[in-house]
Amino acid sequence: MSQRKDAKNRRNYLVKCSCPHCSQHSEHSFSRVQKGAMLMCPHCSKIFHQDKNALAQPTL
């Protein structure tokens, strides 16, 4: 069971997403993006969905 917990924590990293309204990049949790949750742009404060198929690259 501990392996499963470790796997879940490893997937919780930040990914860069671009806002469809202002085209600025922001960092959001990988798990939130995968779930299709609503994301808020910190630059223009608009709420948007990130396309799951066009997932951004992880932040290093």
3's enclosing H/E stretch is helix 2-10
Question: In angstroms, what CA-CA distances link 14 with 2, 18, 29, 49?
Answer: 23, 13, 5, 16
pLDDT of residue 21: 92
pLDDT of residue 31: 87
pLDDT of residue 38: 94
pLDDT of residue 3: 58
Token look-up 């949750």 returns 37
Domain ranges of the chain: 2-48
pTM over 0.95: no
In tens, the pLDDT along 2-59 reads 556 655 556 678 999 999 999 999 999 988 888 889 999 999 999 998 876 555 455 5
Burial of 58 (0-12, 13-18, 19+ CB in 10 A): exposed
